[in-house]
C-alpha cells in the first residue's frame, strides 16, 4: 500500500519586491512518499486555487536536476535535506517522517525577491557576461578543438567546474551571501582549457570585479557553499580562482 502523509507547510509569501512579506502555513493531505517536493507544491497550489487563493510562485523548468531553477530553502538548507541534489530531485520520503516543512526563498541582497519563492538571479548573468565565454577565431586553418590534446586530469577538473548550474545555493548557504564558488567555477572551467587562455587574465579580473559590484559578500572559508552545492563543486575551485585573480593583477601591473 502506498504510504501517504499530511504535511504542515510554512511558506514565505511576498507579493512583490516592495512587499515586506510574511510566513503563511498550509496543510496538505495524503501526500505520497513517492512524490517529488515540487509535485507536493503542485498539489498545494491546486488546493489554493480551489480555495480562491493566490498560488505560491516558485521557479522550475526541467525538473531533472539540470537547470537549477528550483531554488528553495527547505528547513534551513538550500535545496533541502539531500546532499548533491536540487529541490526537484528531493522526494517526500527524504524527510523521514518530518511533516513540518519551512520553505523560504534564497536570502541575499544580490538576489532580490520577485514574488514568494522566486528571486532575481540576473546578477549571475551579468557576471557571466563579463567573461564567461571565449571570443577566439574559428574555422580556416585553425585546428579543431577536439584535436587539441588535454590531459585527463585537466579535462576532469574543467568538467567538474563546468557542472555548475548557477542555481545560487552557494550564495544561499553562505552567511555572507558570497558568490565565490559560482564565479570560481566559471573562471576555472575556461582557465583550465586551451581555448580560454587568450582572455585568461582579463576574465578573472572582470568577473571578480562584477561580482563585487553586484553586492555579494566575501568568502567565509566555512565551506558551506561546497557542502550545499547540488553539483558538489569543491572548495579548491575557489583557491584556483584566487590564483587566477592574483596572477592577473600582477600581470596588469607588470610584476
pLDDT in tens, 200-249: 999 999 999 999 999 999 999 999 999 999 999 999 999 999 999 999 99
> Between 180-191 and 200-213, two packed helices, what is the crossing angle to 10 degrees?
170
Query: Around Cβ 206, how many Cβ atoms within 10 Å?
Result: 18
Predicted confidence band of residue 252 (pLDDT cuts 50, 70, 90): confident
Return the CA Rg of the chain.
21
Specify the pLDDT at position 255.
63
Q: Which three cell numbers stand for residue 159?
A: 568538467
> Where do we find the cell 550564495?
171
From-to residues of CATH 1.10.1060.10 in the chain? 122-252
Q: Which long-range contacts (CB under 8 A, 24 or more apart) does 209-213 make?
A: 209/130, 210/126, 210/127, 210/129, 210/130, 211/127, 211/179, 211/180, 211/183
Specify the pLDDT at position 3.
84
* Predicted structure pTM score: 0.93
Specify the pLDDT at position 1.
57
CATH top-level class of 4-104: alpha beta
Between 141 and 13, whose confidence is greater?
Answer: 13
pLDDT tens string 39-72:
999 999 999 999 999 999 999 999 999 999 999 9
Q: What is the CATH number of domain 122-252?
A: 1.10.1060.10
Residue 229: which of 141, 167, 138, 142 has the closest Cα?
A: 167
**Average pLDDT along the chain:** 94
Mean pLDDT value across residues 62-88: 96
Give the ranges where the chain is alpha helix by DSSP (H).
37-50, 122-129, 152-162, 169-173, 180-191, 200-213, 224-228, 236-252
Mean pLDDT value across residues 155-179: 96
Bridge partner residues of 10 (DSSP) = 25, 102
From-to residues of CATH 3.10.20.30 in the chain? 4-104
3-class DSSP state of 86: coil
Amino acid at each position: 500500500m502506498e504510504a501517504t502523509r499530511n504535511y504542515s507547510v510554512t511558506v514565505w509569501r511576498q507579493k512583490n519586491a516592495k512587499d515586506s512579506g510574511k510566513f503563511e502555513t498550509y496543510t496538505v493531505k495524503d501526500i505520497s512518499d513517492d512524490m517529488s517536493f515540487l509535485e507536493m507544491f503542485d498539489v498545494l497550489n491546486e488546493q489554493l486555487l480551489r480555495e480562491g487563493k493566490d498560488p505560491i510562485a516558485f521557479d522550475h523548468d526541467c525538473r531533472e536536476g539540470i537547470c537549477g531553477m528550483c531554488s528553495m530553502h527547505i528547513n534551513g538548507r538550500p535545496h533541502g535535506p539531500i546532499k548533491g541534489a536540487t529541490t526537484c530531485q528531493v522526494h517526500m520520503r527524504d524527510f523521514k517522517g518530518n511533516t513540518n516543512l519551512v520553505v523560504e526563498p534564497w536570502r541575499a541582497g544580490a538576489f532580490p525577491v520577485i514574488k514568494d519563492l522566486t528571486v532575481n538571479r540576473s546578477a549571475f548573468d551579468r557576471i557571466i557576461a563579463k567573461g564567461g565565454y571565449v571570443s577566439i577565431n574559428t574555422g580556416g586553418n585553425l585546428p579543431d578543438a577536439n584535436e587539441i590534446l588535454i590531459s585527463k586530469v585537466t579535462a576532469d577538473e574543467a568538467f567538474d567546474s563546468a557542472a555548475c548550474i548557477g542555481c545560487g545555493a552557494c550564495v544561499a548557504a553562505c552567511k555572507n551571501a558570497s558568490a565565490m564558488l559560482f564565479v570560481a567555477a566559471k573562471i576555472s572551467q575556461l582557465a583550465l582549457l586551451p581555448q580560454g587562455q587568450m582572455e585568461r587574465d582579463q576574465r578573472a579580473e572582470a568577473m571578480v570585479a562584477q561580482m563585487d559590484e553586484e553586492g555579494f559578500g566575501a568568502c567565509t572559508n566555512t565551506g558551506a557553499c561546497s557542502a550545499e552545492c547540488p553539483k558538489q563543486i569543491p572548495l579548491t575551485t575557489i583557491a584556483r580562482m584566487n590564483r587566477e585573480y592574483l596572477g592577473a593583477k600582477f600581470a596588469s601591473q607588470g610584476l
